[in-house]
Amino acid sequence: MSDQPSAGRGFPDLRTLGGSWTSNGIEDGSRYLLSTAELGSSLGAFARGNMADHVDDDPAAVATNRAALQRELGATRGLAFIQAVHGSSVANVVESGSYPGVDALITTKPGLGLVALGADCAVIGLHAPTADGGPIVGVAHCGWRGLVEDVIGAVVQEMRDAGGLDVSAVLGPAICGRCYRVDPERRRAVRHACSPGVADAALGAGVGVEAVDDDAMPGLDVHAGAQQRLIELGVSVNAVAGCTFESASWFSYRRASLDPETEGRTGRHALAVVIGSDFEGDGRGR
């Protein structure tokens, strides 16, 4: 994978972070983009870079933002979007469109962009070379339920079952434990379902502390839990720092839900991956 991404305006009406992946030290045409809330065409509660079409934003603004993302990513065959349900289902796709009922997508189709949307949940892009040289890419959406259902383990296994070797990932920002206070039942669900390492990372110093009131409730760090799960699976992780609640660069459902003017209405940023057109001639994914 390339070095840590840097902010920029690779396309005039969208601000993104991005990078490329390598196979055996050689760039194989695979790349990722992480959009931000900065710039874009959406207005009001969705300003500005909203990529979601299910949040009651102006459809024309969403279409404009998605078109900018597709062009900057270089997704010549369009974009495939996760319609997340906070589960662990994975779809292997070859066409653009929206895929309901799944929280992860993988493909070997060159030019097809895969997109995960987030607004506090972690968004994850994945890449793996194969023995015959053609890459596999994937995306996943993971909140606290995703940790419990192990969507990360599911998508990594799907990539390996499809021939992927040396899986690497870019982990987008998510809400941190300081900002995401949860009830005892949610903490117990994470502790029961996840490995000790993932539970410790996600629950931190709050493990075992019973809440007295909302302010005393320990936090759940989605980003830390997701990163630890990737590490446990032997995945090389490039983690984008930052809390979605604390930084206006990202959309945050929790931040919006505390704002009386928006009452939870907010947009979604995107993490998108694609296999470059250099592999279009080898027949993979056709």
Binned at pLDDT 50, 70 and 90, residue 22 comes out as: confident
Kindly give the residue spans of alpha helices, DSSP state H, lying in the chain. 59-73, 144-149, 151-161, 184-193, 196-203, 222-232, 253-257
List, for residues 188-211, the tens digit of each pLDDT value: 999 999 999 999 999 984 434 443
Stretch 160-186: mean pLDDT: 94
Stretch 224-253: mean pLDDT: 95
Cα–Cα dist 5/266, whole Å: 25
Residue 251 has pLDDT above 70, yes or no: yes
Cα–Cα dist 89/84, whole Å: 9
What is the percent of the chain with per-residue pLDDT over 90, rounded to a whole number?
73
**φ, ψ of residue 58 in degrees (nearest 5):** -60, 120
Question: What region does 163 belong to: left with phi over 0, alpha with psi -120 to 50, or beta?
Answer: left
Question: Do residues 281 and 126 make contact, with C-beta atoms less than 8 angstroms apart?
Answer: no
**Which pLDDT score is estimated for 92?**
98
Return the DSSP state at 46: G
**φ, ψ of residue 76 in degrees (nearest 5):** -70, -20
**Which pLDDT score is estimated for 13?**
58
Residue 4 has pLDDT above 90, yes or no: no
Lowest mean pLDDT of 123-127, 209-213, 266-270, name the range: 209-213
**Of 266, 273, 251, the residue nearest 70 (C-alpha):** 273
**Which pLDDT score is estimated for 7?**
43
Binned at pLDDT 50, 70 and 90, residue 1 comes out as: low
